[in-house]
Structures are given as structure tokens and as C-alpha cells.
Amino acid sequence: MLTYESTAEALVARIKGLIPKHPEILAMKDPWDLYKIKEFKCDDLQPSLFQAGWALSQAIIRFNEEVEA
């Protein structure tokens, strides 16, 4: 079983991995919008809404930091 923090971090990695194929993620503000992306899967993680929102914002921040580096 994943911890609360590791679940959120796993979700960050999944979302960040989808950004190159789905750049519209970079403009998302609501984690519910992720479900519009067919490849987005998180049922196994069962994140809370807070974890999903945090993961979305962190994925965007980290992706942008890597692009700028």
C-alpha cells in the first residue's frame, strides 16, 4: 500500500509523462479535466481530490522547470 505522499508523487509522474503527448494539460486548473484524457489512469492509486489537484500543479511546475533547464 502506498503512503499518502507516495501516492501523490506517483500521480505527478503519471501526469508529467502524459504532457508531451497532451500539452493541453499545461493549461488545466481542475484535476477532473484529466479524465478527458483517455490514457490517464489512476484507479489503482485511488487519490483524493486534494492529491489529484496537488499532483496536477506539481506536474505542470516540474515539466516547465525541465523545459527551461
Model pLDDT for residues 1-25, shown as the tens digit of each residue: 579 999 999 999 999 999 999 999 9
Q: How far apart are CA 48 and CA 66, in angstroms?
A: 26
For the chain, the average pLDDT equals: 95
Cα–Cα nearest to 25, from 9, 37, 43: 37
The answer to whether the CB of 15 falls within 8 A of the CB of 34 is yes
Q: What confidence score (pLDDT) does residue 10 get?
A: 97
Please state, for a pLDDT cut of 90, what percent of the chain lies above it: 94
